[in-house]
Structure 1
Amino acid sequence: MSATPKSRRRVLVGVSAVAAVSLGIGVAAGSRITSPEDAAAKTGPPKASQITVPVEKKALSSKVVGRGDASFDGAVNIRVETSGMSTPPIVTGKVPAVGSTITEGKALLEITGRPVIGLAGVLPMYRALSPGSKGPDVLQLEQTLDRLGLDPGTVDDEYTLDTSAAVERLYEKAGYEAPEPDKQLTQQVDAAKHQVDAAKKQLRQAESQLKAAKTAHAKDTSVQQGAVDDAEQNLADAQEALGEAKFKAGTPLPVSEVVYVKTLPRRVDDVKVERGGTVNGVVMSASGASLVVTLKVDAATAQRLKAGMAAALELDGTTIAAKVLRVAKSGTQYNVVVAPKTLTASQLALLRDANVRVTIPVKSTAGKVLAVPVAALSSGSDGGSRVEVLRNGKVELVPVKVGLTADGFAQVTPAGDATLAEGDQVVVGR
């Protein structure tokens, strides 16, 4: 039986539908098939791109930054030489309190009712001084007296009566009686005075006898004149001896009544004696009255620093102007001592015994300069420096001269005919 027209149309429609579905499935499957080359292209790293930053105009400053401990400068032990005393060295008063200040020319301690006066000097007080003493310790004393305005006369290495007078003024200024000379010396002065008086009496008698002889019109008065001459010589000798005795009996300076400290004023850190106690060695320790901050640096950093450089101290949000006081080697490192320029009472309290951030500018540019990150610099075949500048989508090599480097930036100046300006994009990475 042959198919009717209607049934044939149904078959054609069914076949067309199956073909269309098959075609869709084929297209979908084909879209999911990836070649090895395409797969590698999709999973590989993206093509490198250039990272650029603009050239800046800024001031650069190279600096040393570190942390240091605050303390009072230069602690020393103060020792009183009591070996020359004839009585036990008992502390009778003037015991300083910790934190008090030792000033030059003032008594820092009292032993057996006598002062121990602090003076600034390098040599210690190693012997008693008196008129006739000579040496470098005498020179140091006279230099000190002169500095204090006490007029020791000619400043040299000889202890004279002018020195004695200046020592008396030193004690008067400190509020004490000047030391008395040895009794034997004062006795010698008294004896010399008697000799002068006797010589004067002898001269008066000789002159009287000569006058009487002349009044009597004696033909020969040579004997009486000789007596006068002898009496005059005796008087001159006696007066010279009196002068020498007075010189030796001038005001002395006992070894136990002065201590020299390298610099004054100083702050008392510790007291080793008490009132009523006996002095035996060190009586106290003292440091500089000025507060300083000390930080440790290596040799390379120390070479960049020197005394007088400006610095800044930072603590709890407070910044204090300071300067480098000294740079000194300490073992394998160096101590950099920084001193504040001025301190208020509250700042002193804040800094005392604190750990402080210290900043010391070492070098800076004179105002704003062209600057690029250090990472933007590279070396050319000639050994010179250059930067890569991105202009109009192309990279140009610009030779530069490099100046100060600080905080990750370098000062640059275009070399030769090259140009470089603020805002130019320099390559720092790819």
Structure 2
Amino acid sequence: MSTHPVVRIAGVAAVGLLLGGGLVAALWQPWAGAGSSPEAPRQTAVAERTTLSAHLILNASLEYSAPTVLVGVGGTLTRLPQPGEVVGVGQALYEVDGHAVVAFRGARPLWRSVESGMSDGPDVQQVEQNLADLGFGDGLTIDNTFTAATERAIRAWQKAAGRERSGVIEQADVVMVSAPAVRINAISALVGASAAGPVLSYTEPGIHGRMKVTAAQLTQLAPGMAVTVRLPSGVETPATIAALDPEGVATTDPAKTTTPTARVEFPDQSLLEGLGLPALRVTVGTGGAENALVVPVTALVALAGGGYGVEIVDAASPPANSPDSSPASASVPAGSRSRTVPVEIGLIADSRVQITAGDLHEGDRVVVPG
């Protein structure tokens, strides 16, 4: 006979929460408004020790980085790239007055010609860094000062590119981008139009995933956490949570509430080629416990005084259909006695719950709904 007033738990919310350094579970408490429906058949399950692993299943939408608008400085556009084209540093992004405008990497656009006699400035250092990265840095000191070595490096670059060896980089010769390579996102101008204004927008070439998560899920994630992503083909590939954004993605309506998001990076971009931008399933391992004492989560009962318990069938009354063994599940024999003991719970995963404290032992039989 049970010694604690209880309510049998018929369902749980299997969401692990971090509390006080340990994993606990938030369980549905159905005693509010419980009816008097007939009790389900009583079955038992064995408390056992095993390794328990918890996983969080989320959806991720594939996307490119936010686009950056590139602004030209003048002249007539004579060639433009195609959306989707990838252009690396040192390559031509578009053409003005029949001359290639080359992508250099830097945070500041050029605001003057880079040439002998100019005053010191960060634009000099940007150009020198690009020349060195492209293989023209012999004898070059990368700093804010234009020197004879800077001019020699410019001439060497111009020769390799088939340009006039003037030793001067004009403001319209190069355009600064923010990455080693960029993907053309959209074209803002027309061939034959002026290049003085927005010409195109670009993104980083890599595709990443964006997951919308709840505030509770956010607490279970961390940058650098490994995840597994299932592709539409069924192939599973490893990925990494690169960043968390508690404020979510900005919307066009400032008053609209946004949800937290997490960014997923893929080490093997080749697997994403030709996929488009579908939604993918992401599996996150959020915790685990080795040698855990576990029972089916439906074995938990809510105690009237608070907390949870399990109903244990007396060992002296083995299941009638198996006198010499302990099957994983069996019916409660007629006339069996049982007792309800309070327990503390830990990790919930795969419809099982870890018992961290209480008078329950491996091999004990607990009552579960039939």
Aligned 8 A contact 1:386 1:399 in 2: yes
Q: CA deviation at 1:384?
A: 7.4
**2-side partners of 1:169 and 1:369: how far apart?**
68
When Rg is computed on C-alpha atoms for both structures, the one with the higher figure is 1
Pair 1:115–1:48, CA change in 2 (3 A): closer
**1-side partners of 2:59 and 2:156: how far apart?**
47
Structure 1 counterpart of 2:241, from 321, 324, 330:
324
TM score, norm. by length of structure 2: 0.69
Structure 1 counterpart of 2:106, from 121, 129, 153:
121
**1-side partners of 2:190 and 2:149: how far apart?**
36
Matches within 5 A, 1:243-282: 251-282=167-198
What CA RMSD, in Å, does the superposition of the two structures yield over aligned residues?
A: 3.3
Note if 1:333 corresponds to 2:259.
Answer: yes
Matches within 5 A, 1:36-75: 50-75=42-67
Pair 1:321–1:175, CA change in 2 (3 A): farther
Q: Which residue of 2 aligns with 1:388?
A: 311
**2-side partners of 1:47 and 1:275: how far apart?**
77
Q: Which residue of 1 aligns with 2:278?
A: 354
Q: Which residue of 1 aligns with 2:78?
A: 92
Q: Which residue of 2 aligns with 1:103?
A: 88
Note if 1:138 corresponds to 2:124.
Answer: yes
Q: Which residue of 1 aligns with 2:365?
A: 425
Note if 1:406 corresponds to 2:329.
Answer: no
Aligned 8 A contact 1:69 1:294 in 2: yes
Aligned 8 A contact 2:345 2:353 in 1: yes
Q: CA deviation at 1:369?
A: 3.2
Q: CA deviation at 1:358?
A: 2.3
Q: CA deviation at 1:313?
A: 2.4
Q: Which residue of 2 aligns with 1:308?
A: 224
Aligned 8 A contact 2:213 2:262 in 1: yes
Pair 1:413–1:143, CA change in 2 (3 A): same
Pair 1:381–1:47, CA change in 2 (3 A): closer
Q: CA deviation at 1:282?
A: 1.8
Q: Considering fraction of residues, name the structure with more helix.
A: 1
Aligned 8 A contact 1:139 1:158 in 2: yes
Q: Which residue of 2 aligns with 1:291?
A: 207
Pair 1:288–1:60, CA change in 2 (3 A): farther
Q: Which residue of 1 aligns with 2:151?
A: 164
SS in 2 for 1:155: coil
Q: Which residue of 2 aligns with 1:18?
A: none
Aligned 8 A contact 1:272 1:284 in 2: yes
Q: CA deviation at 1:374?
A: 3.6
Q: Please list every run of 5 or more consecutive structure 2 residues that lacks an aligned counterpart in the other structure.
A: 1-35, 251-257, 316-335
Pair 1:255–1:293, CA change in 2 (3 A): same
In terms of mean alpha carbon deviation, does 290-299 or 51-60 score higher?
51-60
SS in 2 for 1:362: strand
Give the letter aligned to residue 148 of structure 2.
L
**2-side partners of 1:340 and 1:326: how far apart?**
13
Q: CA deviation at 1:102?
A: 1.0
Note if 1:372 corresponds to 2:295.
Answer: yes
Q: CA deviation at 1:334?
A: 2.4
**1-side partners of 2:297 and 2:39: how far apart?**
25
Aligned 8 A contact 2:105 2:126 in 1: no
Pair 1:276–1:375, CA change in 2 (3 A): same
In terms of mean alpha carbon deviation, does 291-300 or 98-107 score higher?
291-300
Q: CA deviation at 1:81?
A: 2.6
Give the letter aligned to residue 90 of structure 1.
T
Deviations 1:217-268 (A, max 9, x none): xxxxxxxxxxxxxxxxxxxxxxxxxxxxxxxxxx332222222222131222
